[in-house]
Structure formats: structure tokens, C-alpha cells
A and B are shown apart, each in its own frame.
Chain A
């Protein structure tokens, strides 16, 4: 399955994919002689997949730094990427902390992004700007927008919050739905389709910077504890050890070269660190809490 085949991905995403699937690989192949197997790197909507330039630059950077043709693979859901990753169809993928924790046994940590100098982020519960609600408990009966059932910040974090109070989302919210993208959660709340939403704090902050008009119609009602930033993970048994180490090296050195710094600037990240799996213990605790709550 090629990356452009899935028509259900958002429009902007499709554009990005078209570019990644046609133009960039051509360049990459020209640079690498076309003899080597490409590096397949998966991306989930944790990340700002809507930015065409970002995707192109990231791909170009990785190709230059690894000397390999790079294919950026995106799918609509986290689950698809996770499945591709755990089944060894991807060399590595930028996934969410939740699937990383859930598939801990099958995955290894490649790198953790540094946002505001730390490999941490928060989950936000956002509401309409004009809503006077002060407390998360007031959201009872809401139509709630979630990002993805496999998203930590866009789902798990909120149901863990409810679980802590002994509640389940279907009993608390009148209705909830998935938008399969953090930016979509912001759109859903801003448009009024949903009265509240769970969103990645990092994405929210970046969108607030890039599209202030969109986030202006919302406000953050609740911030979660600091959680491990969505990591780059690889199958525990690498598809190709050499390709993976090239990728790891390229990621960790990204903030050291101008080309990488440009990509990081677009991502609003400071760089990538090796990171420790323990970073995701909080998320693992949430998973356990939710599982316990049933």
C-alpha cells in the first residue's frame, strides 16, 4: 500500500503525502543511486502533518543525513501506524506515548523530541472561549472531541482523569467522537461542533502561534501533568540495523546542523534526545488506571 492510497486522510495531509510520495523520493533516489532499500519512517498526527514544507524538509534532511531514500508514511489513525511499526513494515515511526506504552514489549525507543528543552508535554482539555466553565467536572453532558483512541493527550489522559474520579467517558460526556488529528479537535471546539475537546498541549501551543485565529475561539480549561513527549520508536528487532542507526544519528544530531535546525524551527522543537523509557511511566500508570476502571 502506498502512502497516497488512503483517501480518508485530511486534505492537507494528502497534499503532503503526494509531495512525499512523488517529488521527494525522486530526488532521494537520484542522490543515492537508487540501489538501496528506502528508509520507511512513519508519522502520526501527533505531529503537524498538515505542513507540506515541514514534511519536505524533514524528508530531505533525513535523506541527506542518512544517505538513504526516505519514505514518509502517514495514516489516518495511530493504530495503523502502530500496526505497521510492530509488524516490521516501518523502520521507525513517530508515535504517541500511549501506543509506545501499550506495545512496550515490541518496541524500542529511538529518540524523544525536546520541546521547550524537555522531553515533556501536557494534555489540554479545551472549551469554547466564551464558556464560563471553570472546572473539568462542569463538562458533564458535553459533546467531547477526542483526537484518536490511541492518543495519549487526545484521549487517554482525559479518560484517566475521569477514571481517577471513578467515571467513564460514556457516562460523563453526552457524546464523544474522534477527529483523528489534534488540530481537528481545536477546529471542532472552535466551530462549536464539540463543546469541549482533548488535545495535545504541544500541538495546541504551536497552532496558537501559527493560526491564532483558530485557537482564539477556544481556551484551555485543564492542563494535565507533564507527560513523556510522543517518541520515535522502532520495532524491538530492527528491520535493518544500519538504517535504524543512521536514522537515530540523524535525529540526535538534528539541532547540530543548519538543515536540521530549520526542520526543528518548523516543528517548534529544540532537538531530539536519546531518552529513557521511564519517561513514559506516567502514561503507563494512566493506562493501568483506565484498564482498572474498565
Chain B
């Protein structure tokens, strides 16, 4: 497990926290219980010891005064016998000098031996009691005063091992109870958290799936099983997935429409391109009508008509090729790049921009022709729009390894940062956020769909270099593009 507890899973943290809290509570409670027990034991013992020592003085004091050793001894024995429940282990009666007058165990404290010192006997308070919780013995002392004069001292010791045993038993019981409770609550905490975290896990799994593949909504029965906030959260997630799907659909539709939009942008140029030769063609027709019988004139007119019509046919064919989705996806060929020149030329001429194309494609490339052409066309149109009159645009298309690299270099004012970001796909901007940039967004989408990348460079000498890198499709998987 990771050493930093902050990174532990919540399934571990919560039971551990519960256990830690329980241990703390257990310790506090145990401390209170033991303190209470010690207090009760001491009070109980003190009361018993008092009653024990209360009875003795009246029995022994006159005997002490008479030095009646036997009577003192008998009184002590009687008291020990009488207070058997108190478990007196030893009772020693000394005179004021601390010399033993009688003891419950005379062998241990022989008559006349010293028990404590006179100083101790004098200095000690009139009565004292000492008991340590958990200890095996307690002791009590009582001074015997006979009108105002200390005549002797009674020392009593009590066996408290049963109290210590009781205390140990309580400690064990507390430890067992608290331990069991802690384990139980920790397990309960684990189960509870596991249960509470289940919806979060479901959500996390779905989100992880959405990141790697298509976001899928959470099944309705799962949502129904979770009423309350998780139900609402699942509902919100499903709504999000739905809106993402809708957005995806809209984007596809937009991409589709973009082709038509760019067509629209080219229509006037195309019309102009068709219209230009039309005047000549009509002239040729008129010449043919009036001077058709001259073989040379006829031949010239027919040649003119033929070239003019071929030009119109090429333009129309290219336009059709570009703006009609192929029934069957076709691989990109060198001709597709050449077609682009044909398409862009009328607009370039109108703007007096030179377009030079370096087409290194040989044969066909394993790439779908329609989206690749569309993407390149969009970039070209963008470059054309940015280029001032007299400037040049360089288009190069060459296969490098398993990629097709297409570079469009212009000498324009430079692609604005925002546009460059949209193109590079760095900004997942809404396509119509500012009413423009649809072409760039569509290009970005197409290239992303093909698994390619777009880089935008702005060289120091000005203008913009846009580089599309599109990997070749693998034979078995055809890219899903419109």
C-alpha cells in the first residue's frame, strides 16, 4: 500500500478511520471506567478499613494502657477474624515509640521489635489510608490517642489482590468488548462504504469507458436502483452522454454541410470559369454558323469548341467529384491533388494569387479520397483568403513512411492564434461559436477522424505553414468518415 494515507482508497480509509475513532473512544471509555472502578474500589476499601480500624481502638486502647499484651493480641486476632471479608493480611499495634505491642503475625513482628520509628509514629497523620489501583495490597494507619496523648499506632495491611484481579478482569473485558466492537464497526464501515461507493464506481467505470471509447449511458434499471442524489447524478450523466451524442451528430451534419458551404464559396468562381469560355464558345458557334463551310474556319471553331467544352467538362467533373460523396470509398490518387488545383485555380486567378503544387503521390495511397481532398481544399481556401494579391501559395503532398504529409504554405497575414488552435484541435470549440471558422473546425475534425494531426507554424518571414499528417489506413479497417 502506498505510504501516503491520502492516496489510500476510501474503502480502506473509512474503516481505518472508524477503527481509529473506536480505539480512541474505547481508550477514553476504558480510562473512565477504570478510573471509576479504582475510585469505587478505593472508597469501598477505605470504608471497610475505617470500620475495621474504628472497632480496634476501643478494644486495644485500655489494654495498651495496661500493657496487657494478650488482650491486644486477642483483639487484633478477633478483628482480623471478624473482618475476614476485608482480607486483612496484617495488623500491627505499636506503642508511641514504634515498638510492637502485638501483631497478627507475631513471628514477623515480634513483641518489642521496631515497626517504623518514633519520628514516623509522631509525624504520621492521625489516620491515613493508601491504596493503589491494581496493586495487591493496601494499608491504613490509625493513631490511638488517649486523652490528647498518643499511646499507640495501629497499622493495618489488606490484601487487595482480588480487587486487582477484578480490575484485570475488567480491563480484559473492556479490551475484548472494544476490540470486537472496533472490528465490527470497521467491517460495518467497510461494507457501508462499499455500498455507498458502488454508484460512484459505476460512474467511474462509465467515465473511463467514455474516455477510451464511445460514452455509453448508464442502463435505466441501474439508474432506477439508485434513488436520491446518485440517481440524479446518473440522470445528469446520461443527459450529458445524450447531448454529446447529439453534438456528435450535429458535427457530422455540419461537416457534411461544410462541403456544400465551400462549394457555395467556389460557385461564383466556377460560374465565372464556365462563363469565360462560354463567350468564346458562342463566338465559335457563330463563326461556325456563318463560316462553317470554310474547312479551315470550321476546323478552328470546332477545335475551340472542343477545348472550351473539355475545360468546362473538367471543371464540372472535378466539382462533381469533390462535392459528391463517392458511392464507394476510393483511395487517394495523384489526380485528386491535381483536381484541387483545377478547383482552386479560378478563385486564385481572380485574386491574382499564384498556386504551385508539388505532388509526389505516385499511384494510389491507402487513404479515403473524399475527406482528404476536402481537408486539403479547406486549408487551401483558407490560405487563399488570407493571401494578398500577387502572393504565392505552396502546396506539397508527399508520402513519408506510412503517412501522407500535406503542407500548405502561404504568405498571408498569418493564421490568427484562435484559428490555429481550432485547426490543431487544441480547442474543442463549438463549430459556430463566433459564426465563422467552420472550415477550420471541419478540417480539424476530418483529420482527427482519420487519426492524423495538424501542426500550424508561423515562420519569422511571415505567413503560415499548415502541416497535415495523415496515417495510412490499415487494410482491414476503413475509417468511418462522411
> Hey, which bits of chain A sit against chain B, CB under 8 A?
8, 10-11, 143, 145, 174-175, 177-180, 184, 188, 191-194
> Hey, which bits of chain B sit against chain A, CB under 8 A?
67-71, 73-74, 78, 102, 105-107, 110-112
Tell me the nearest residue of chain A to B109, going by C-beta: A192
Contact status of A10 and B74, CB under 8 A, knowing A177-B68, A177-B69, A193-B102: yes
Question: Contact check: which of B68, B78, B106 meets A192 at CB < 8 Å?
Answer: B106
Q: Is the CB of B110 within 8 A of A192?
A: yes
Contact status of A143 and B112, CB under 8 A, knowing A11-B78, A192-B105, A192-B107: yes
Tell me the nearest residue of chain A to B107, going by C-beta: A192
Q: CB-CB < 8 A to A191: which residues of B?
A: 73, 106-107
Tell me the nearest residue of chain A to B81, going by C-beta: A11
Q: Is the CB of A143 within 8 A of B73?
A: no
Instruction: Report the separation of the CA atoms of residues A259 and B105 in the bound assembly, to the nearest whole angstrom.
Output: 43
Contact status of A188 and B112, CB under 8 A, knowing A11-B78, A193-B102, A193-B106: no
Q: Is the CB of A188 within 8 A of B73?
A: yes
15 CB < 8 A contacts A-B: A8-B71, A145-B70, A174-B112, A175-B111, A175-B112, A178-B70, A179-B70, A180-B70, A184-B70, A191-B106, A191-B107, A192-B105, A192-B110, A193-B69, A194-B111
Instruction: Report the separation of the CA atoms of residues A188 and B71 in the bound assembly, to the nearest whole angstrom.
Output: 11
Instruction: Report the separation of the CA atoms of residues A184 and B77 in the bound assembly, to the nearest whole angstrom.
Output: 12
Q: CB-CB < 8 A to A180: which residues of B?
A: 70
Q: Is the CB of A143 within 8 A of B110?
A: yes
Instruction: Report the separation of the CA atoms of residues A45 and B110 in the bound assembly, to the nearest whole angstrom.
Output: 27
Q: Residue among B74, B102, B106 with the most chain A CB within 10 A? A: B74
Apart from A175-B112, A192-B105, A193-B111, 20 more pairs, CB < 8 Å: A8-B71, A10-B74, A11-B78, A145-B70, A174-B112, A177-B67, A177-B68, A177-B70, A178-B70, A179-B70, A184-B70, A188-B70, A191-B73, A191-B107, A192-B106, A193-B69, A193-B70, A193-B73, A193-B102, A193-B106
Tell me the nearest residue of chain B to A174, going by C-beta: B112
Instruction: Report the separation of the CA atoms of residues A8 and B62 in the bound assembly, to the nearest whole angstrom.
Output: 11
How many Å from the CB of A146 to the closest CB on chain B?
10
Tell me the nearest residue of chain B to A178, going by C-beta: B70
Q: CB-CB < 8 A to B110: which residues of A?
A: 143, 192
Tell me the nearest residue of chain A to B108, going by C-beta: A192
How many Å from the CB of A176 to the closest CB on chain B?
9
Q: CB-CB < 8 A to A184: which residues of B?
A: 70, 74
Instruction: Report the separation of the CA atoms of residues A194 and B102 in the bound assembly, to the nearest whole angstrom.
Output: 10
Tell me the nearest residue of chain A to B70, going by C-beta: A179
Instruction: Report the separation of the CA atoms of residues A153 and B67 in the bound assembly, to the nearest whole angstrom.
Output: 23
How many Å from the CB of B105 to the closest CB on chain A?
7
Q: CB-CB < 8 A to A177: which residues of B?
A: 67-70
Instruction: Report the separation of the CA atoms of residues A84 and B69 in the bound assembly, to the nearest whole angstrom.
Output: 26
Tell me the nearest residue of chain B to A11, going by C-beta: B78
Instruction: Report the separation of the CA atoms of residues A177 and B112 in the bound assembly, to the nearest whole angstrom.
Output: 13
How many Å from the CB of A184 to the closest CB on chain B?
6
Instruction: Report the separation of the CA atoms of residues A174 and B71 in the bound assembly, to the nearest whole angstrom.
Output: 19
How many Å from the CB of B47 to the closest CB on chain A?
26
Q: CB-CB < 8 A to A178: which residues of B?
A: 68, 70
Instruction: Report the separation of the CA atoms of residues A192 and B109 in the bound assembly, to the nearest whole angstrom.
Output: 9
Q: CB-CB < 8 A to B73: which residues of A?
A: 188, 191, 193
Tell me the nearest residue of chain B to A180, going by C-beta: B70
Instruction: Report the separation of the CA atoms of residues A11 and B77 in the bound assembly, to the nearest whole angstrom.
Output: 12
Closest 8 CB pairs of A and B: A192-B107, A193-B106, A192-B106, A177-B69, A179-B70, A143-B111, A193-B73, A191-B106
Instruction: Report the separation of the CA atoms of residues A145 and B102 in the bound assembly, to the nearest whole angstrom.
Output: 13
Tell me the nearest residue of chain B to A145, going by C-beta: B70
Instruction: Report the separation of the CA atoms of residues A251 and B468 in the bound assembly, to the nearest whole angstrom.
Output: 146
Q: CB-CB < 8 A to B70: which residues of A?
A: 145, 177-180, 184, 188, 193
Tell me the nearest residue of chain B to A185, going by C-beta: B70
Q: CB-CB < 8 A to B67: which residues of A?
A: 177
Tell me the nearest residue of chain A to B104, going by C-beta: A191
Q: CB-CB < 8 A to B102: which residues of A?
A: 193
